[in-house]
Structure 1
């Protein structure tokens, strides 16, 4: 496990998010393994297989006018030719433009993610992505208040 390997995985992870920000579907396809891959978007069921996973990203990109990821708490673990990256995705996104041509309202969201990479002859490729939403304190407080007797 060398520092160079960790840097390469960090770069592959960053490239994954930058590619989504640019909406570059062709580049995104090249980041995934050709093998059996899997993906869980927040609130979605498990998607299996390259075709199903890539279709989901095509749908997301087609319906998201603007998205930006601010990654925090990034941690990389390596074992042989497999790397595990955990991070928090601080996401800012906006819907399709309204009639006046302006971007729809921006929405912030926190998602914790696990990205699994495998080393290939072409570099580190994504094997699996799993994103899970994080409840904010306000949302958690609402749930607790709703559950408590009046």
Structure 2
């Protein structure tokens, strides 16, 4: 498999873990070898891995969205320093009739893509590719 396909697969695992409410799978995806960050819409920035995993637990327990449908993912390889490989997936998150734009940044660790940053926020002007299912409205 090529690196871009592997990166997209890691991104799919992230959304599958969310949709399955699988904290173990999320913990396996989030990198534990360096800095991480997560910015949920309307939340302060989280930069502690434990705090990030607890935020997902709180979302699951607090009746957060039932599912997130990842749309129009675009994988980009960023290189890195000292042989470290970084990759980013920019995508759209359909949550009911709302649409967010998201960035998921991954670091390759021992041949596996590990999540180091997730940020999602409102999207008022999505590309046509994000409208592959029923029409969506931006999150207000």
SS at match of 1:43: coil
TM-score if structure 2 supplies the norm length? 0.79
1:52 match: 51
CA distance in 2 between counterparts of 1:123 and 1:31 reads: 9
Give 1:11's match in structure 2, choosing from 9, 12, 19: 9
Greater Cα radius of gyration, structure 1 or 2: 1
Q: Which runs of 4+ in 1 moved over 3 A?
A: 135-139
Structure having the higher helix fraction is 1
The alignment of Structure 1 onto Structure 2 pairs a total of residues equal to 122
CA distance in 2 between counterparts of 1:27 and 1:84 reads: 19
TM-score if structure 1 supplies the norm length? 0.74
CA distance in 2 between counterparts of 1:15 and 1:61 reads: 17
Cα pair distance change 1:138/1:49, threshold 3 Å: closer
1:76 match: 75
| Deviation of the 1:82 alpha carbon | 0.3
Cα pair distance change 1:138/1:129, threshold 3 Å: closer
Cα pair distance change 1:132/1:66, threshold 3 Å: closer
